[in-house]
Structure 1
Amino acid sequence: MLETEERFVWSGPVRLWTERAGDPADPAVLLIAGASAQGVLWPDALVERLVRRGVQVIRFDHRDTGLSSVVDFDARPYAIADFGADCLAVLDGHGLAAAHLAGGSMGGMVAQWLAVHEPGRVLSLTLIGSSPMGYGPDWTGEPLPPPSAALQAHFALGLPPGVESDVALFRAFTGPGLPFDEPAARAMLELAWSRAADPAAAANHQRAGRTFAPDRLASLSSITAPTTVVHGELDPMFPLGHGEALAAAIPGARLQVVPKMGHVLCSPGLPEEIADRVADGL
């Protein structure tokens, strides 16, 4: 087991749980989770592999998830820029001027926002199963493919919230290509539910994701950080066209398509493979 250091940092009035693993003298990788996801949903195996590759790793709970602050969204709505500010607060709280960013799904959009608007804080980008940060109602580019029919059918089931519902969701996110490691996923999701201050608050991320502003529509062509786009061949949430569009929009970006991979890292050996791809891109 890795030795880790937990601490809380402040992003304005919002308190954020963070955890650092590895030597603080090593280069830092900040893991930015997707919508409604706690930091602990980055698999331990991925963190351990990155540390063995010679970096320190910081993961954290977004606002409205895990041990971080619960926000009254109606009174104080937030958007991608606020998630970006939270990331900067995490770096500041750990005394880091800049870091390598690895973002998954919505976390990849937050990483893009930082690379555009706070380039001095970003050493490199690894965007995993993500999409251009401006994709949504105001998107001006070519249409991108919708979620797979199977995933849309799963969403239509309307399963009640809980561990079993999330296990079913992660099975659907894994898709048909790779085996689903249900015991590992269940243990990770049970941990997440056990430490959630208010499980319902995470749904605010969906509202935040629908909040569009000019800062999200800024051109990705201004990104100068070395960028690797890692995308699952069979991603059911953001089909491969999203990763292709993202890599095409960022100068010099490398697209790495992972055969048979879906949208989450719940297949045996996959967390270690993705960790290696992150480390190789530093």
Structure 2
Amino acid sequence: MQNTIWTEEFGDTAHPPVLLIAGSMSQGPQSWPDAFVGRLAAGGRRVIRYDHRDTGRSRTVDFASDPYTWRDIKDDALAVLDTHGIESAHIVGHSAGGLLAQWIAVEHPERVTTLTVIGSSPLGRQEGMTIMRALMGEEQPEGSLPPPAPAFVEFYRQMITTAPPATRAEQIDFQIAEARVLSGGGLPFDEDEERRQAERLHDRALDLSALANHRLAAAADMTFEPAGVLHTVKAPTLVIEGTHEPAKPGHGALIAAEIPGAELLMVEGMGHMLAPPVQGTLADAILAHTVTVRR
């Protein structure tokens, strides 16, 4: 069955294109807030964000009858570029979107002008297994990635053992509670703004229950990522991590160490999300990174 991906773009189409790849189970506007996107467009970039399949306004499926893999989700990003007539773009990925961005940079270097990875883990290190072991209380084997922060582990342990939110009000309250944990505690948490965002995301989604299909796609193949390949990345790379990252602490340095010539930017107070106080810093860093192609 044909997949339909919802996209939108900002800025002048004559400007250098920037493709924003959201995290797992995240809508485009969830990972990439309007103000942040606006800063990039105002800085002279053609910015494209999109909803992953089974999120937001993109098509949803019955996974049992129409399954897919994370390779398919990765290929969706390339299809977005094709649809917009773009041969090569500055690729920016957040969280699991950062894994997809790294994967694209490895497999399709001709499509990646520069690479920016935010709040992500190194490709091929099975970050999902690290989180799963942490949630199950299992010991991490030697050489594993650093585990999530205790507050992150406790929140998602409780989520596993409690009934999912059913009503609109419960779902919005859950999104706010999750955002508080992902904020990492390094910056003031604006609950009113988070509520407005959660209400918007809830009401624009075609089917919120379809988000779980991303977990099914990952569970179907926990080792989907190619390993030992980051040293082949040719695109100039910027890796960004917050000092209060709760989900993937210390993973940014590992990515930067594996990609030749990669730069690491640590953002003070930032957690896992692009909170308003750091959006200017992030946008400025990406604009500077995408000015000159250092091949």
Would you call these one fold, judging by a TM-score over 0.5?
Answer: yes
Cα separation, 2, equivalents of 1:208 and 1:271 = 31
Name the aligned partner's letter for residue 193 of structure 2.
A
Q: Which has the higher helix share?
A: 2
Name the aligned partner's letter for residue 68 of structure 2.
Y
Moved more, 249-258 or 133-142: 133-142
Q: Residue 216 of structure 1 aligns with which residue? A: 226
Cα separation, 2, equivalents of 1:271 and 1:208 = 31
C-alpha deviation, 1:143, in angstroms? 1.5
Do the aligned residues in 1 keep the contact of 2:99 with 2:121 (CA within 8 Å)?
Answer: yes
Map of 1:79-94 to 2, 5 A cutoff? 79-94=69-84
Moved more, 104-113 or 130-139: 130-139
Map of 1:164-179 to 2, 5 A cutoff? 164-179=173-188
Q: Residue 27 of structure 1 aligns with which residue? A: 16
Q: Residue 46 of structure 2 aligns with which residue? A: 56
Q: Describe the SS at the equivalent of 2:4.
A: strand
Cα separation, 1, equivalents of 2:27 and 2:271 = 19
Q: Judging changes above 3 Å, is the alpha-carbon distance between structure 1 residues 135 and 77 closer, same or farther for their aligned structure 2 residues?
A: farther
Q: Tell me, yes or no, if structure 1 residue 235 matches structure 2 residue 245.
A: yes
Moved more, 225-234 or 174-183: 174-183
Give CA-to-partner distance per residue, 1:251-278, whole Å, 9 cap, x none: 1110111112110122x32122211111
Cα separation, 2, equivalents of 1:141 and 1:153 = 23
Map of 1:26-175 to 2, 5 A cutoff? 26-41=15-30, 42-136=32-126, 142-158=143-159, 160-161=164-165, 162-175=171-184
Q: Residue 293 of structure 2 aligns with which residue? A: none
C-alpha deviation, 1:152, in angstroms? 1.0
**What is the Cα-based RMSD across aligned positions, in Å?**
1.9
Do the aligned residues in 2 keep the contact of 1:79 with 1:209 (CA within 8 Å)?
Answer: yes
Q: Residue 247 of structure 1 aligns with which residue? A: 256
Give CA-to-partner distance per residue, 1:72-109, whole Å, 9 cap, x none: 22333323321221011111111111110110000000
Q: Residue 262 of structure 1 aligns with which residue? A: 271
Cα separation, 1, equivalents of 2:206 and 2:54 = 8
Q: Tell me, yes or no, if structure 1 residue 184 matches structure 2 residue 193.
A: yes
Note the residue ranges of structure 1 that are not aligned, 5 or more in a row.
Answer: 1-11
Q: TM-score, normalised by structure 2?
A: 0.86
Q: Describe the SS at the equivalent of 2:255.
A: helix
Q: Which has the higher strand share?
A: 1
Q: Residue 289 of structure 2 aligns with which residue? A: 281
Cα separation, 1, equivalents of 2:53 and 2:192 = 27
Do the aligned residues in 1 keep the contact of 2:70 with 2:224 (CA within 8 Å)?
Answer: no
Name the aligned partner's letter for residue 237 of structure 2.
T
Q: Describe the SS at the equivalent of 2:248.
A: coil
Identity percentage over the alignment?
A: 45
Q: Describe the SS at the equivalent of 2:226.
A: helix
Out of 18, 33, 42, the residue aligned to residue 7 of structure 2 is 18
Q: Describe the SS at the equivalent of 1:59.
A: strand
Name the aligned partner's letter for residue 243 of structure 2.
E
Do the aligned residues in 1 keep the contact of 2:71 with 2:224 (CA within 8 Å)?
Answer: no
Q: Describe the SS at the equivalent of 1:224.
A: coil
Give CA-to-partner distance per residue, 1:7-52, whole Å, 9 cap, x none: xxxxx71000000000000001111000100011111110110011
Cα separation, 2, equivalents of 1:145 and 1:78 = 29
Cα separation, 1, equivalents of 2:125 and 2:68 = 18
Moved more, 199-208 or 219-228: 199-208
Do the aligned residues in 2 keep the contact of 1:226 with 1:252 (CA within 8 Å)?
Answer: yes
Moved over 6 A (4+): 137-141
Q: Describe the SS at the equivalent of 1:184.
A: helix
Cα separation, 1, equivalents of 2:125 and 2:202 = 30
Q: TM-score, normalised by structure 1?
A: 0.90
Name the aligned partner's letter for residue 145 of structure 1.
P
